[in-house]
Structure 1
Amino acid sequence: MNRSIFRIEFFAAALLGCVSSTNVTAAEHTLLPTPKTVHIGYFLSTLKPVLSIDSGDTVTLESIASIVPAVVDASGVVPPSALPQAMRDIYGTVQDRGPGPHVLTGPIEIKGAMPGDVLEVRILDVQLAIDWGYNRQRPYAGTLPDEFPALWNRIIPIDRTAKTAEVAKGVVVPVNRPFFGIMGLAPDSGRISSGPPGVHAGNMDNKDLTAGTTLYLPVHAPGALFSAGDAHAAQGHGEVDLTAIETGMRGTFQFILHKDMKLRWPRAETPTHWMAMGLNPDLDDAMRIAVRETIELIVEKYPKLTREEAYMIASVAVDYHVTQVVDGTKGVHGMIPKSIFKQ
């Protein structure tokens, strides 16, 4: 086990004060995208799992870019051979789509998970899987919908060796911190769009959820039913034009089920910070939720601190980021530095 993963496990136990429900002989699984292992544009509480695992198991999961292959082919930027055959198979075969646009790999059933539990998702590794990505501006979407009314696509070559992408002539951005824009569980009932994030997590588009980060997600449906996709090679906080550098990605996750934890909203932690999240269609309300979650997290971790002291800490030491503002439900996440707590 490398040091970063050890630190996450250590701090997770210290933060949450819980006993994990894990199996003794954890298994390793691989889940590749095919027409039978993806779903497009939705989360569904009754969707049949494509993989069933035990708590403690590890899954290496791959996702494809959520763009019609013909659009990439027409660009002439990348050769046809650069598109994975799985991508062509999925878009040529899967008819049940929407209301969102995202191709999601899964769902994965965690045996024994029930509503009210918490699923810990350790993001052990994230790697780019292809040598290109895209950015899309859609009519009447994004942060400035009235100012950019035309459909616009840019196919962007990615240098996976240098870990860079030239997004415009002479403009090179790093792609060294890739992440899954969508990591989420099934809702409590019915079918919901993959577009807006929520208590199920989903399309959080949180650039800080990179390798070495741990997510804590409230379970709403039997089996939890985890799916992931919407791979991002690079993104700024806000994701203001609607998309990031969207691409294909391979990630390794470990899933741990907690029966003695309760959460209302998703939470996360890195080796250096705890992360409190707020999600709401109104950005002000998203900020309020993130601050309340910050207060709750601090007083849970340090019961001797009062709520007034936690509120003060949120003001003097916590950085709040606008996660994204383009998914209908907007996001704010607060980064709580672990280093300030000296106990």
Structure 2
Amino acid sequence: MSITIPFIRGFALFPTLSWFARRGIPVEEALHAVSLPRDMVAFPCRPVPLVQAAALLQTCARQIGPDLPYRIVSEADDLEIAMLGRVGLGTGTPREALARIIAALPFYCSHEHVSMRKTTSSTIVSEFFSHRFDPETTHLLLQYAATMIDRICGMTGAARSRFLKIELPAHPEFGLTHLTGCFGPDIVASRSRGLSILIDNQIMDRPFGSCARDRLNGRQLPDHNPLRGDGTLAASVRLLLVSMIEDGQAITIEPVVSAAGLSARSFQRQLKEEGRSFSKLLAETRRSETQKRLHETDVTIASIAAELGYADQASLTRAFRRWTGSAPRHFRVQRSP
């Protein structure tokens, strides 16, 4: 199976960023430290590398404590919780909310997988990440997910502890002792890299105390393509390159390789197996983004050249002539209504 860059929509980090802001932690500095866009709040649906989002959580947990994900989610407002606020609200029960979140998940996170199985008296909710994170990061990400599920169940008014049993990968240094006061004594270390939660059906099918309006209004899920794309590394590289261009980042291969979680050699080898190369993908992305900007904006050609990482306007013009046989200015005039 092809290894691809894992992505998550930017708004999934909003509860974390809000928690930081309330405690006086400089948000922009925290984002910059892990190479995430500082203006993320302005573009909530922009895909960001999951590896860097996880690094934000890991870095801060090492400073604040291993129960940081629980604190973030348990103290957040319902509307700050990305998937719960945008998708889960408007449903009537925890089961309905989780079913809707599961259906929407491919549009919001490329490598997170959640399933739900009902038995006679209880329901098993399982979750894992298909990207192989280190044990510490895996623990923190799944702790965050478990707390969100607990929050959903808590919206029914059910008292703590709301889980019959929870299996969670242990933190490599602290184990699970820091979470016994959060989820109760029935928490054990998972033997796998995944999360498993056993919930009484009476809680899963219990109506919420108050039901927010249906934010989908009976419509289809939001108009985004699944973040995994066609499942190739090349497609995920192009998605990251577009995001980096929009963020004004210098385009080099190193951060792209890092986001994929591969060695540079393995990264190049897999692209070659797909019949692609990083340089060709960058050229293709620059071409499509140039045409998009010429067609959809009035930005000067010199500014477009700077945004796309060209040395100057002349360099962009030469490249554009190779692509299309005409100058950018002529292309813009021809496409004008």
Asked whether the two chains share a fold, i.e. TM above 0.5, the reply is: no
- Higher Cα Rg, which structure: 2
Using CA pairs under 8 Å that are at least 6 residues apart, name the structure with larger relative contact order, 1 or 2: 1
Larger strand share, 1 or 2: 1
TM-score band by shorter chain is under 0.3
